[in-house]
Amino acid sequence: MRTDGHNRPAILFLCLGNICRSPLAEGAARAAFADAGIDATLDSAGTGDWHIGHPPDQRAQAEARRRGTDISDLRGRQLAVDDFYRFDLILAADANNLREARALAPPDATARLRLMLDLVPGRRGESVTDPYYGADDGFAATWADVSAVAAALVAETSSG
């Protein structure tokens, strides 16, 4: 994995509104990278603009807390052109968000674009569970998905 100018991976997690899946992915990755002793630049964003400046969904915050991770300080933001140069990897939660990111990407973008679950063996092409309109237990499924992604990122970074 390429690293930013400070010899650390720079990864952006992307979903639609940046209040459920991508902040949970950022939180899981922060915890996994910290546990592994790896310094990384980690952030999250949404392709939509509905939740700019808003904290993560209360149910997402509760799930992260149950897992020992605090994401309450995160705030929603929208994917920006600068992100394609600031990050070496942009991981989308699903095919629609990946398509939106590719449409926004400048021709000379340096970031690689992938689906989050493409990093997890046996999950290629799958979407991270979107819990927003479902019951609270959907957030546990989302956490399981993004934790698997975080573990795969740590393994890839450690071996690279």
CA–CA dist 40, 29 (Å, integer): 9
**CB under 8 Å to 137, separation ≥6 — which residues?**
none
Active-site annotation holds for 15 = yes
For tokens 């973008």, name the residue: 109
- Active-site residue (options: 88, 94, 130, 145): 130
Active-site annotation holds for 130 = yes
Query: Is 71 exposed, middle or buried, given 0-12, 13-18 or 19+ CB atoms closer than 10 A?
Result: buried
- Active-site residue (options: 21, 30, 59, 77): 21
The type of residue at 134 is G
DSSP H/E element including 114: strand 112-115
Active-site annotation holds for 8 = no
Residues carrying an active site annotation = 15, 21, 130
